């Protein structure tokens, strides 16, 4: 397969990811909701350790792209290769096993369960013991549960949330709920992490901390991260490549510098709304 | 955090609980064999045990999985007839009684679980009202099948002369084993997977949880224990009639679960005990039993919509831990300020 042939046209891949099979290769992706074309001819390639941004005005179709990538909605058109394998016809849980994990714009935690249990559910497939092992409390149960407990606390400590392990997830402050969603997604050991507006509702200092942590996650786990965000400081600060979506179509792709200066992007953002906040 | 919260290690917890179960068994056996209790009272104890298993098993699907099935009596019936037929045919054989009891009950559970899978696969594609209606229909189908397969089941007059094998010991052990097994499953990755579906199906699936598998699993597990309860019922009554497994039986079990608090095993146990004992306790008011039922339900649902126990589960070890740490409050309660902040914005 001539992997390199299509790369330059689609990819925003940083140097370190060149020559490597991209984690995500999206071609001509599209979906119609009845008469409405929510996403159309979406082409994007994401490198294995890239931090990519997906931006665009409200209703542009960003969340819909995430839902297509995780097969919450089946695409009407196009194809997705995750780590070189087609995602067509796969169930959402299978895609997670194949290496894609996500957070949600409107937080979806297991609210009545504890913080630790939330993370342990993310670790579900990392554990292998059977129902019989758990009823009889065989060694496999104890060993893997102990591991999961330690792993959960370790993951929580990325965001300094170790001490909150026994809190109910629903009682966490808003920012911590967003961080817990990231930890839970990370627990599933993905190759690519999709973050849907991770900084929404956070104050500037929380956002700055989040930026550091997103970079830290990429560096420690060596995974790709694709994020949707309206906070331009965050996007321009940490994304290595950015795609701009408007009315379901990509109108620009490039580095933060290129995107900032792109007249089409400026038009889409400022032209209609007349002075949107940066 | 200067002081560390004293915890009771796991092996000691298990020891405490095992001792408690043995003690209760000994005490129960002593009371019943001493002859203090009359016949009605000792048979009530068996009935309570059977309803505890029914309520605790239904709680798996309603409380933990978050679905509303209305056909629990159907699974109970499958188990009851399986066990009844087996015990009857084993009565003349050389099979020793304890072996016959265990095999009969396990068969009852397995048969009911098979029905659980058969009904679960199509039913669990549906949600809410639709699932309720399908399972309700299933319960009725089972009852009508039993009436019509009279060659095997005895039809409307019933299956007679079943050996009365449900002694206090048998029922007690079955209750203990059922509760412990369900507890062990729920406190494992499999149990957490079931809970995650109740909490948020989309999030669960994107965490890699195989939703359909765990829904059917929960359904089958629930049916398995309902089948065992049915088997005990067969050996308690000595006679099975299809009318004993009608829609009202399913509703009665559901009432126990809701009253006790969906998702609380302790709640199910308490509610099953109270509601099963109520008629005997209020013998003179027996005609008003249903009225009292309903009034009780309405009152509880108004003042405590989450049921008597909410989702709280009683744990002796936790209670002991609290006593050990009486001067040091546990540091897991979220700060009030945190709640306020959380309220400011929502997704
Ligand atoms: N299930 C659906 N059925 C019909 N239309 C839908 C559905 N999901 C999304 N849409 C439509 O698709 C368009 C894109 O929505 P989407 O949620 O992807 O936008 P977004 O870019 O994430 O916006 P925001 O920044 O507000 O989150 C919207 O017009 C929306 O109404
Ligand atoms: Mg969105």
- Ligand 1 site: residues with CB under 6 angstroms? A 33, 36, 38, 56, 58-64, 105
Which of A71, A108, A141 is most worth mutating to test chain B (most B CB atoms within 10 A of its CB)? A108
Which chain B positions have a beta carbon within 8 Å of A189's beta carbon?
none
- Count chain A–chain B contacts defined by CB atoms under 8 A: 128
pLDDT at position A17 is 79
Interface of B with A (CB under 8 A): 181, 184-185, 187-193, 195-196, 199-200, 202-211, 217, 311, 331-332, 334, 338-339, 341-342, 344-347
Residues A153 and A216 placed together within one structural domain of the fold: no
Residue B267 to residue B251: CA distance in whole angstroms: 17
Domain ranges of chain B: 8-326
- A106 found inside a domain: no
Residues A83 and A136 placed together within one structural domain of the fold: no
**B341:A109 CB<8 A:** no
pLDDT tens for chain A, residues 1 to 278: 444 434 445 666 777 877 788 999 999 999 999 989 999 999 999 999 999 999 999 999 999 999 999 999 999 999 999 999 999 999 999 999 999 999 999 999 999 999 999 999 999 999 999 999 999 999 999 999 999 999 999 999 999 999 999 999 999 999 999 999 999 999 999 999 999 999 998 999 999 999 999 999 999 999 999 999 999 999 999 999 999 999 999 999 999 999 999 998 888 876 654 444 44
**B203:A108 CB<8 A:** yes
Which long-range contacts link A248-251 to residues 24+ away (Cβ below 8 Å)?
A: A248/A30, A248/A37, A248/A38, A248/A39, A248/A40, A248/A42, A248/A60, A248/A61, A248/A64, A249/A39, A249/A40, A249/A41, A249/A42, A250/A41, A250/A42, A250/A43, A250/A44
Edge-first strand order for the sheet with A192-196 is: A100-102, A192-196, A224-228, A51-55, A241-246, A249-254
Structural domain ending residue among the three candidates A187, A202, A231: A187
pLDDT tens for chain B, residues 1 to 347: 445 667 777 778 888 888 888 888 888 878 887 777 777 788 899 999 999 999 999 999 999 999 989 999 999 999 999 999 999 998 888 888 899 999 999 999 999 999 999 988 888 888 778 888 889 999 999 999 999 998 888 888 889 999 999 999 999 999 999 999 999 999 999 999 999 999 999 999 999 999 999 999 999 999 999 999 999 999 999 999 999 999 999 999 998 998 888 888 998 999 899 888 877 777 666 677 677 767 877 887 788 777 777 766 666 667 777 777 766 554 444 443 343 333 333 33
- What is the A276 CA–ligand 1 centroid distance (Å)? 20
List Cα–Cα distances, B263 to A166, B54, B65, B283, in angstroms: 19, 14, 9, 31
- B246 min Cα distance to partner chain A (Å): 32
Cβ proximity of B191 and B60 under 8 Å = no
Residues A195 and A81 placed together within one structural domain of the fold: yes
pLDDT at position B336 is 39
- A170 found inside a domain: yes
**How many distinct helices (H) and strands (E) make up chain B?**
15, 0
Residues A194 and A252 placed together within one structural domain of the fold: yes
Which residues have CB atoms below 5 A from the ion given as ligand 2?
A 63, 105
Ligand 1 atom nearest A65 alpha carbon: 18
Element spanning A245, H or E: strand A241-246
pLDDT at position A5 is 38
pLDDT at position A9 is 53
Residues A92 and A194 placed together within one structural domain of the fold: yes
Residues A90 and A4 placed together within one structural domain of the fold: yes
- A277 found inside a domain: yes
Selecting from B187, B189, B204 the residue whose C-beta is nearest the C-beta of A127 gives B189
- A107 found inside a domain: no
CATH of the domain at A236: 3.40.50.300
Tokens matching residue B339: 């709640």
Residues A75 and A5 placed together within one structural domain of the fold: yes
Residues A26 and A72 placed together within one structural domain of the fold: yes
**Domain housing A177:** 112-187
Structural domain ending residue among the three candidates A162, A187, A212: A187
pLDDT at position A6 is 40
Number of domains in chain A: 2
A228 beta partners: A54, A196
pLDDT at position A3 is 41
Going by C-beta distance under 8 Å and a sequence separation of 6 or more, which residues neighbour residue A164? A115, A156, A172, A176, B334
CA B307, chain centre distance (Å): 16
pLDDT at position B2 is 46
- A104 found inside a domain: no
> pLDDT tens digit string along B271-306?
899 888 877 777 666 677 677 767 877 887 788 777
Tokens matching residue B7: 């915890």
Note the ipTM here: 0.91
Residue A73 to residue A34: CA distance in whole angstroms: 13
Residues A116 and A177 placed together within one structural domain of the fold: yes
Residues A89 and A199 placed together within one structural domain of the fold: yes
| Greatest alpha-carbon span in chain B | 72
> For domain B8-326, which architecture applies?
Orthogonal Bundle (1.10)
- B307 min Cα distance to partner chain A (Å): 16
Residues A138 and A268 placed together within one structural domain of the fold: no
Tokens matching residue B334: 């979220």
Tokens matching residue B15: 């020891």
Residue B12 to residue B144: CA distance in whole angstroms: 50
- A105 found inside a domain: no
Chain B within 8 Å of A113 (Cβ-Cβ)? yes
pLDDT at position B289 is 67
State which residue of chain A sits closest to B347, comparing Cα positions: A106
Cβ proximity of B99 and B36 under 8 Å = no
Structural domain ending residue among the three candidates A187, A208, A229: A187
Residues A116 and A88 placed together within one structural domain of the fold: no
């Amino acid at each position: 397969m001539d992997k390199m042939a299509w790369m330059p046209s689609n990819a925003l891949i940083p140097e370190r990811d060149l020559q490597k099979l991209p984690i995500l290769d999206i071609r001509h992706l599209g979906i119609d909701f009845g008469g409405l074309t929510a996403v159309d001819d979406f082409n994007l390639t994401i490198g294995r350790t890239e931090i990519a941004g997906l931006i665009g005005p409200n209703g542009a179709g960003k969340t819909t792209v995430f839902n297509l990538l995780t097969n919450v909605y089946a695409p009407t058109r196009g194809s997705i290769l995750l780590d070189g394998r087609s995602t067509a016809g796969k169930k959402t849980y299978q895609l997670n096993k194949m290496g894609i994990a996500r957070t949600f714009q409107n937080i979806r935690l297991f609210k009545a369960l504890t913080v630790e249990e939330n993370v342990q559910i993310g670790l579900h497939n990392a554990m292998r013991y059977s129902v019989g092992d758990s009823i009889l409390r065989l060694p496999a149960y104890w060993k893997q549960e102990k591991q999961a407990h330690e792993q959960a606390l370790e993951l929580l400590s990325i965001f300094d949330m170790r001490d909150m392990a026994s809190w109910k997830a629903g009682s966490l402050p808003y920012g911590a709920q967003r961080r817990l969603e990231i930890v839970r997604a990370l627990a599933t050991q993905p190759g690519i992490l999709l973050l849907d507006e991770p900084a929404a509702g956070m104050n500037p200092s929380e956002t700055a901390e989040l930026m550091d942590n997103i970079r830290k996650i990429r560096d420690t786990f060596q995974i790709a991260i694709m994020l949707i965000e309206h906070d331009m400081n965050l996007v321009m600060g940490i994304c290595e490549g950015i795609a701009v979506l408007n009315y379901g179509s990509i109108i620009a792709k490039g580095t933060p510098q290129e995107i900032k200066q792109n007249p089409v992007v400026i038009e889409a953002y400022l032209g209609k709304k007349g002075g949107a906040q940066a | 955090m200067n002081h560390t919260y004293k915890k009771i290690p796991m092996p000691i917890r298990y020891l405490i609980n095992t001792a408690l179960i043995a003690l209760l068994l000994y005490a129960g056996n002593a009371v019943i064999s001493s002859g203090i209790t009359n016949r009605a009272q000792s048979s009530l104890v068996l009935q309570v045990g059977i309803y505890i298993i029914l309520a605790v098993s239904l709680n798996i699907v309603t409380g933990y999985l978050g679905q509303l099935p209305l056909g629990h009596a159907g699974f109970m019936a499958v188990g009851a007839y399986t066990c009844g037929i087996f015990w009857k045919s084993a009565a003349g054989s050389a099979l020793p009684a304890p072996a016959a009891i265990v095999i009969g009950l396990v068969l009852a559970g397995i048969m009911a679980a098979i029905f659980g899978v058969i009904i679960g696969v199509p039913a669990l594609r549906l949600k809410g009202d639709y699932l309720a209606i399908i399972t309700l229909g299933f319960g009725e189908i089972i009852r009508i099948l039993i009436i019509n397969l009279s060659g095997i089941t005895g039809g409307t007059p019933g299956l007679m002369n079943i050996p009365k094998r449900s002694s206090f010991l048998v029922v007690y052990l079955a209750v203990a084993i059922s509760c412990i097994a369900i507890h062990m499953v729920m406190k494992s990755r499999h149990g957490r997977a079931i809970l995650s579906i109740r909490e948020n199906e989309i999030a669960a699936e994107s965490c890699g949880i195989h939703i359909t598998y765990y829904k059917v699993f929960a359904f089958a597990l629930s049916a398995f224990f309902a089948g065992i309860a049915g088997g005990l019922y067969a050996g308690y009554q000595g006679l099975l009639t299809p009318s004993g497994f009608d829609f009202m039986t399913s509703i009665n079990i559901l009432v126990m679960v809701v009253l006790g608090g969906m998702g609380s095993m302790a709640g199910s146990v308490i509610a099953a005990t109270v509601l099963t004992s109520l008629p005997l306790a209020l013998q003179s008011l027996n005609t008003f039993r249903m009225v009292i039922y309903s009034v009780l339900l309405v009152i509880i649902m108004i003042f405590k919509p989450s049921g008597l126990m909410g989702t709280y589960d009683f744990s002796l070890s936790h209670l002991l831990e609290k006593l050990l740490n009486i001067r040091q409050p546990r540091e897991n309660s979220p700060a009030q300020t945190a709640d306020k902040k959380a309220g400011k914005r929502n997704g």
